Structure 1
Amino acid sequence: MSEIRSAPVRAAVGVGQGDPVRPGGRAGAPLWWVWLAAWPVTAVFVLSNAATPLYVLWQRDIGFSKGTLTVVFAFYIVGLLGSLLVSGVVSDRIGRKPVLLPALGLALVACLIFATATGVAALIVARLFTGIAVGAVVSAGMAAVTDVAGHERRRTGALLASCAMVFGAGLGPFLAGVLSETLPAPTVTVFAVEAALLLTAVSAVLRMPLRRPAAPAKGAWVRVPSVPRGHGRQLIQGIAVFAPGITATSFVLSLGPSLLSGLLGTTSRITAGAMAFAMFLAATAVQFAVRRLRRRTILAAGASSTALGMIMLVVAVHASSAPVLLASALLAGAGQGLGQLGGLSLLSSGIPPQRLAEANAALNVGGYVLAGVLPVSAGYLSDAVGLTAGATVFGVVLMSLAVTGGLVVLAARRQANVPGVDGAR
């Protein structure tokens, strides 16, 4: 189904019996469509981390250091942040599909480059393209899930959008680990399978029941994403918890295989992929478990989980304990999932649909800037002083940031109890 152009008053078009209706007449699609709308988010995030278990192969065949590995990872962040400067605003103005379809096309190109990579430059380009595609998906794709869900299911939409992201992020390395260990030509096989998943996502986007926005464009098309006036407090709270959470999982994705190799003496791609999958499975499960709690309670729990995860990381590297490292990864995953769900829910609860993709982009910019800087710094520090010392410094710094984020949320919750200050709980 192509996008439907709606009038500024958002007249109800094609509303069936039993469909939830937004104030002003905008209806949500049937629930199964909400789940299907989340699939493109999952498919692109499978690609985002599919390379994780394969880096040990590329390091062996091409030859590069831990610092170079984190630079390759950082180009993903560069592409993502650059995409977020554009995709949210464009999606809100011309529609979700015109942003999602080119993004899926670029993701398919990234698969081709990964499958044929013979040098660091190719890996950098593939990661850059992947980051651009992911930037479009976390703004336009996640907003599309909320749009399809409709006003009456806005919390369900935020939940499914967030879970689609973290489930895909976990499925990617696990699928890649299993395929690369059990089938020939591992890098080719992994990205051929991912390309097939992306093609099914293209089909879902083409059929997605979305309306094309009719509001006139205002302001620059390329800009740092922001939220409407009066919603800055919600954005700050989301970033304060989401940023440390996603930085923790980014560290596990980039340097986790090296830590496992040091602790277990194994370079098994299935083991590395399974740890990443378990981390993001925890991120998915915890969101369903807390979905009925107040938003700020979810955020406070996310900050606590990330801080505890970093304490466990420091213990793991000093005690050379793989089980403690796994516990750290699970807590990091829970921290990202809770921070992401809390942030998205706060934004979707009050921001109008015509600014929602830009708001999602703003949340992710705040998160991914930190996720790009700290793991890269930890990678080069580990090359200089050793992985144990590098991981310790990283853990202490990130634990401090997570605690600070929790204090920001608690201060906002106390302020929200003052009548007329901020009722979004």
Structure 2
Amino acid sequence: MTTLDHSPDQARSGWWPFAAAAFAFLVAMMGTTLPTPIYALYEQQFHLSQFMITVIYAVYAAGVIGALLLTGTWSDQIGRKPLLFAGLALSLVSGICFALSGGLWGILLARVLSGLSAGLFASTATAAVMDLVPEGQERAGILTATGVNMGGLGLGPLVAGAVVQYLPDPMLTPYLVHIALVILAGLAFLTVPETVARADHPDLAPQRPTLPSEVAGVFLPAALVAIAGFMVTGFYSAVVPSFLADPMGYHSHFLVGFVAGFLFLASTAGQILADTLPGRSHLKLGCVVLTLGVLVIAAGLWAETLWGLLPGTLIAGLGHGLAFRSGLGAVGSAAPEARRGSTIALYFTISYLAISVPVVLVGLAGLLWALKPVSIAFALLSALLSLLALWRIRGRD
């Protein structure tokens, strides 16, 4: 294995490399949810159905999973920076494709590229941020990694919703804003040192992510609650915008962006809250709070009231943040350093399967039944999975 031109301690000697990596992570994840409040315009402009909107969302998740499965082990062998620069480049090209898109196929291509970018960032940037955290501040590393992930996902629809609502060219301007941010993030990331020595003979063949035996005990409950929580995030990104319009009757693009972004920002707050709680309570408490929030969401959907939906969004987001921060932290900390990237890739692969597959099933069910009962059933299923995760945690304890 070759040597680095600096020591790991030098790479972790200051806040700037850590902050630059976190900013790049934030910007990349913003791009993945940026189209959420624009979907209604695509429906009108290109005469798309709700099912096709869920397909557009799902091909993004397919890109994420494909990148995770293909490159999940690469950053442990060739370094973090090559993959993260590739992720920024894909995010940039995705924004250009969205800006120039003239129909369904252009949107699908842009979403796949966005998914590939997110897949490269999901595991690699998490590991990079944890690598670069200044010495003695390791707790800040996992909190920042999970916080900028969810915070970026929340800022995407918020920023896009405001731009679409109040600025001209609503199908172009949001992407121009994001393209500028990607360029800025790339320039900042040029100054970040590499933290992983490149292997002399890296094996870049596609590999199935495997679970180290040291991680098995904490992985199952973390994965179960991740499935429950990410089902909800997928639902908010792909289905809730349509539900707000019909049957609720809300057509504000800013409101759509706010509701979708609110869930992710509440999740970020939950992760910050998790850092103040006793270590063993995070995952268990996250399951309880997530279950409660999803049940409130189901009640809001049934009553068709925004004032029922918003409290559920806040509670579910807090629960998701508590559980996600705890689960990722436990998985990342338990994994051997040499296999941290691939182990985190497996965790994110499961999470993005939960984001995509159930939402497509909701779209298919919507062809047969009304969106309201389908949405309520989806929420109840998510609550059931969260309770299953809680039961598994209690059994382990």
Q: For this structure pair, what is the TM-score category when the shorter chain's length is used for normalisation?
A: over 0.9
Kindly provide the CA deviation profile for residues 230-285 of structure 1, in whole angstroms up to 9, marking residues without a partner as x: 21222222211112111101101111111211354121110011112221221111
2:272 corresponds to which of 259, 263, 288: 288
Tell which deviates more after alignment, 338-347 or 67-76.
Answer: 338-347
Kindly provide the CA deviation profile for residues 50-108 of structure 1, in whole angstroms up to 9, marking residues without a partner as x: 00000000100101111111011000110000000122211110000110111111111
Q: Distance in 2 between matches of 1:40 and 1:181?
A: 26
Counterpart in the other structure of 1:342: 326
Between the two proteins, what is the percent identity of the paired residues?
28
Counterpart in the other structure of 1:395: 379
Counterpart in the other structure of 1:82: 66
The unaligned stretches of length 5 or more in structure 1 are 16-26, 415-425
Q: Distance in 2 between matches of 1:310 and 1:42?
A: 26
Indicate if the aligned counterparts of 2:79 and 2:198 stay in contact, CA closer than 8 A: no
The unaligned stretches of length 5 or more in structure 2 are none
Counterpart in the other structure of 2:3: 5
The 5 A counterparts of 1:85-104 are 85-104=69-88
2:29 is aligned with 1:58: no
Query: Structure 1 residues 221 and 157 mapped into 2: Cα distance closer, same or farther (>3 Å)?
Result: farther
The 5 A counterparts of 1:254-403 are 254-403=238-387
For 1:297, give the aligned amino acid.
S
Indicate if the aligned counterparts of 1:89 and 1:221 stay in contact, CA closer than 8 A: no
Kindly provide the CA deviation profile for residues 104-150 of structure 1, in whole angstroms up to 9, marking residues without a partner as x: 11111110111122221111111111010000001111110000015
Q: Distance in 2 between matches of 1:348 and 1:248?
A: 23
Kindly provide the CA deviation profile for residues 339-383 of structure 1, in whole angstroms up to 9, marking residues without a partner as x: 221122112323233221111111111111122111111122123
For 1:310, give the aligned amino acid.
V
2:40 is aligned with 1:42: no
2:121 corresponds to which of 134, 137, 151: 137
Q: Distance in 2 between matches of 1:335 and 1:233?
A: 21
2:237 corresponds to which of 235, 253, 278: 253
Q: Distance in 1 between matches of 2:319 and 2:352?
A: 15
Count of aligned pairs between the two proteins:
396
1:111 corresponds to which of 95, 99, 112: 95
C-alpha displacement at 1:32, in angstroms?
A: 4.4
Q: For residue 74 of structure 2, give the secondary structure of its aligned residue in structure 1.
A: helix
2:126 is aligned with 1:148: no
Q: For residue 239 of structure 2, give the secondary structure of its aligned residue in structure 1.
A: helix
Normalised by the size of structure 2, how large is the TM-score? 0.94
For 1:136, give the aligned amino acid.
L
Q: Distance in 2 between matches of 1:161 and 1:5?
A: 26
The CA RMSD measured in Å over matched residues stands at 2.0
Indicate if the aligned counterparts of 1:249 and 1:336 stay in contact, CA closer than 8 A: no
Indicate if the aligned counterparts of 1:107 and 1:133 stay in contact, CA closer than 8 A: yes
Q: Distance in 1 between matches of 2:323 and 2:360?
A: 22
For 2:108, give the aligned amino acid.
I
Indicate if the aligned counterparts of 1:260 and 1:266 stay in contact, CA closer than 8 A: yes
Tell which deviates more after alignment, 315-324 or 131-140.
Answer: 315-324
Query: Structure 1 residues 186 and 95 mapped into 2: Cα distance closer, same or farther (>3 Å)?
Result: same
For 2:197, give the aligned amino acid.
P
Q: Distance in 2 between matches of 1:212 and 1:32?
A: 18
Normalised by the size of structure 1, how large is the TM-score? 0.88
Query: Structure 1 residues 97 and 214 mapped into 2: Cα distance closer, same or farther (>3 Å)?
Result: closer
Q: For residue 214 of structure 2, give the secondary structure of its aligned residue in structure 1.
A: coil
Tell which deviates more after alignment, 260-269 or 213-222.
Answer: 213-222
For 1:181, give the aligned amino acid.
Q
Q: Distance in 2 between matches of 1:273 and 1:371?
A: 18
Indicate if the aligned counterparts of 1:227 and 1:355 stay in contact, CA closer than 8 A: no
For 2:310, give the aligned amino acid.
L
C-alpha displacement at 1:28, in angstroms?
A: 2.3
